Amino acid sequence: MNCHTGSAMCGSVGWLAGLLVCCASPAGLAQATNPVLYADVPDIAIIRVGGAWYMSSTTMHMSPGLPIMKSTDLVNWRLVGYAYDTLGDDDALALTNGKSSYGRGSWASSLRYHDGTFYATTFSGTTGRTYIYTTKDIERGPWQMTSFRPMLHDHSLFFDDDGRVYMVYGGGDIRLVELAADLSGLKPGGVDQVIIPHASAVAGPNVGLQAEGSQLIKVEGRYYLFNITWPRGGMRTAIVHRADRLTGPWEGRVALADQGVAQGGLIDTPDGRWFAYLFQDHGAVGRTPFLVPVRWEDGWPRLGTDGRVPATLDLPASQGLVPGIVASDEFDRQPGQPPLPLVWQWNHNPDNALWSLTARPGWLRLTTGRVDADFVSARNTLTQRTFGPRCSATTILDASALRDGDVAGLGLLQQRYGFVGVKVEGEARSLVAVSVEGNATVETARVPLAVTTAFLRAECDFGGRRDMASFYYSLDGQTWTPIGRPLRMAYTLPHFMGYRFGLFCYATKTPGGHADFDWFRVSDQTSPAR
């Protein structure tokens, strides 16, 4: 078979067999388990270039955006870059003037390699535009950006064998549009039509979520289009259509209906095996990637083991998400190192004048530049993913330069957020725990703080969908005391993202104060000594 993920780069599926080491686990050794990434890495798109795979994912309101990850075994991934630093500079993306891009920003991406160039594409309901980023070096960049209207929802970029380039997109009715040769926009007079009306119909008549999340590949001269749908009373379901011509006619069927694992496409290995890369709504931790084995039968991909998502895979075991996807940071930079490792993303566009790693070498300084009402309104919150089944983050905060009304600390970011931090009122400092309970933001605990430095800790338990978080403080880094009530975490659509650890500092009265963080340490262990 010939695998074309929108290009001719894959060639024959077995052409590297014998030249590269097979990525299967040797007999008797540990195997990979699903989810292969127990963290929020949604709407994934994957390509293979030789013996390496590259994956992109949804960014939402985070900056930098459109993350690029690399793997040599389909299981263990590390961040290698982002396609953009900021998507734009309007109020919503910058979290200014009372506007935000929570739940919007940039959504599902498409990733391609064609004629020596890498393409990462996305779209944004915040700006109403479609974006195409290109580079010759996917791991180092730089990336060049082209954008155009309209916004093509959940599109899949596709280079056909005749040199023409398309995007397949939409929800419910799936559409095909042809792009200009330079990808600057839609081609005048080019193809622009519905190719699959009511694509969800193959999953039954009682549809909740209409078909979306298009991923298009070409195998042995035939086109395969994967989408997600959600029948009422059922679960997220993967569907697939196939055709001999892009414009149709298309025939379809359910590809997988098990555990709600859906949305994605197919990828091959150098030794000729196939997998489907999909995701599952996994509670408060977010949407987690799954791999499902695929076999071909009568020109159709058969997903799963007897139609089920396996718990284990004949692939190498995961080595964990630390430090490839999340990582500790001592904030101690050597000459020539980037200011922030790739694991960090800002909540919305940062104000770069108000954070520093050089004002106090070895410390992250966050300075307030305006007055904000609460944690989710604060600018320059620096975040990393939480991850399962359990995780924790610890930091040390120097609050000596906070001003009256300032709040700084360590939070868990989502609409129903929680944090532990230091609050200043007049000359008095207090350790506080704050969480959203129902529709109210509640200070659940307050402890007078006689010193200026405190150790802060947040723990998450996602195992078995418990989705509970707890907060702690310490004055010596050895003895830990719980503070406040446990936070019942919830994945909410207004934010549309799994919980994130966040370092923050905001003013409620007068800007100009600052908080210094000496380090940030993340672990898959919980329950500190106390």
Using CA atoms, how far apart are residues 512 and 398, in angstroms rounded to an integer? 15
Position 208 pLDDT exceeds 90: no
Using CA atoms, how far apart are residues 268 and 274, in angstroms rounded to an integer? 4
Cα torsion 513, 515, 516, 521 to 10°: value is: -170
81-110 confidence digits (pLDDT tens): 999 999 999 999 999 999 999 999 999 999
Cβ(48)–Cβ(330) under 8 Å? no
Using CA atoms, how far apart are residues 307 and 304, in angstroms rounded to an integer? 5
CATH of domain 3-316: 2.115.10.20
Of 276, 229, 277, the closest CA to residue 44 belongs to: 277
Distances (CA, A) of 31 to 270, 279, 311, 324: 19, 19, 10, 19
What confidence tier does 240 reach under pLDDT thresholds 50, 70, 90?
A: very high
Using CA atoms, how far apart are residues 100 and 52, in angstroms rounded to an integer? 37
Phi, psi of 369, rounded to the nearest 5 degrees: -120, 0
Tokens 């905001």, residue? 506
Q: Where in the chain is the domain with CATH 2.60.120.200?
A: 345-523
What confidence tier does 26 reach under pLDDT thresholds 50, 70, 90?
A: low
**What's the rounded mean pLDDT across residues 401-417?**
98
- The H or E element containing residue 94 is helix 91-94
Position 20 pLDDT exceeds 80: no
Per-residue pLDDT at 126:
96
- Cross-strand partners of 294: 274, 303
Q: Full-prediction pTM beyond 0.75?
A: yes
Q: Where in the chain is the domain with CATH 2.115.10.20?
A: 3-316
Lowest mean pLDDT of 8-22, 231-245, 287-301, 426-440, name the range: 8-22
**What's the rounded mean pLDDT across residues 486-497?**
95
Using CA atoms, how far apart are residues 503 and 515, in angstroms rounded to an integer? 10
What confidence tier does 206 reach under pLDDT thresholds 50, 70, 90?
A: confident
Fold annotation for 345-523: Jelly Rolls (2.60.120)
Distances (CA, A) of 268 to 11, 201, 492, 530: 11, 28, 34, 49
What confidence tier does 28 reach under pLDDT thresholds 50, 70, 90?
A: low
- The H or E element containing residue 408 is strand 406-413
148-175 confidence digits (pLDDT tens): 999 999 999 999 999 999 999 999 999 9
